Amino acid sequence: MAEKTPPKKKKIAPEEEKAARIESTPGEDDAILKEKVLEAALPDAVFDGFTDKVLAKAGKAAGLDQDALARLFPEGPVSLIEFYSHAADAEMEERLAAMELPKMKIRERIAAAVLARLSVLKPHKEAARRAAATLSLPMHAGTAARLLYRSVDAMWRAAGDTSTDFNFYTKRGILAGVYGATLLRWFNDSSPDESATGDFLAARIENVMQFEKFKAEAKKALAKFPAFGDWGKTKADK
Share of the chain above pLDDT 70, in %: 76
Which of 106-110, 192-196, 212-216 shows the lowest per-residue confidence on average (mean pLDDT)?
212-216
Q: Domain containing 204: what range?
A: 81-221
**d(C-alpha 132, C-alpha 49), whole Å:** 10
Q: Compute how many other C-beta atoms are within 10 angstroms of the C-beta atom of residue 15.
A: 8
Confirm whether 204 is domain-assigned: yes
The per-residue pLDDT for range 168-210, each reduced to its tens digit, is: 988 999 999 999 999 999 999 988 888 999 999 999 999 887 7
Give 21 or 109, the one with higher predicted confidence. Answer: 109
Question: 103 in a domain, yes or no?
Answer: yes
Whole-angstrom Cα distance, residue 213 to residue 216?
A: 5
Q: Kindly report the pTM of this predicted structure.
A: 0.78
> Does residue 10 form part of some domain?
no
77-102 tens-digit pLDDT:
999 999 999 999 999 999 999 999 99
Q: Is residue 59 part of a domain?
A: no
Q: Is the pLDDT of residue 234 over 80?
A: no
pLDDT at 26 > cutoff 90: no
25 assigned to some structural domain: no
Instruction: Say if 49 falls within a structural domain.
Output: no
In a domain, 46, yes or no: no
Q: Is residue 94 part of a domain?
A: yes
Across the range 24-53, mean pLDDT stands at 88
Supply the DSSP string of the chain, one letter for each residue.
Answer: -PPPPPPPPPPPPHHHHHHHHHHH-HHHHHHHHHHHHHHHHHHHHHHH-S-HHHHHHHHHHTT--HHHHHHH-TTTHHHHHHHHHHHHHHHHHHHHHTS-GGGS-HHHHHHHHHHHHHHHHGGGHHHHHHHHHHHTSGGGHHHHHHHHHHHHHHHHHHTT----SHHHHHHHHHHHHHHHHHHHHHHT--SGGGHHHHHHHHHHHHHHHHHHHHHHHHHHHHTTSGGGTTTT--TTT-
Least confident of 9-18, 29-38, 161-170, 206-215: 9-18
Q: End-to-end CA distance of the chain, in Å? A: 82
What total of structural domains would you count in the chain? 1
Bigger pLDDT: 108 vs 218: 108
Give residue-wise pLDDT tens across range 128-182: 999 999 999 999 999 999 999 999 999 999 999 988 888 898 899 999 999 999 9
> In this predicted structure, what is the pLDDT of residue 94?
97
Of 4 and 78, more confident: 78
Phi, psi of 60 (to 5 degrees): -65, -40
pLDDT at 202: 95
CATH code, domain with 201: 1.10.357.10
Q: Averaged over 22-33, what is the pLDDT?
A: 64
Whole-number average pLDDT of the chain: 84
Show the CA angle centred on residue 142, arms to residues 138 and 146, nearest 5°: 140
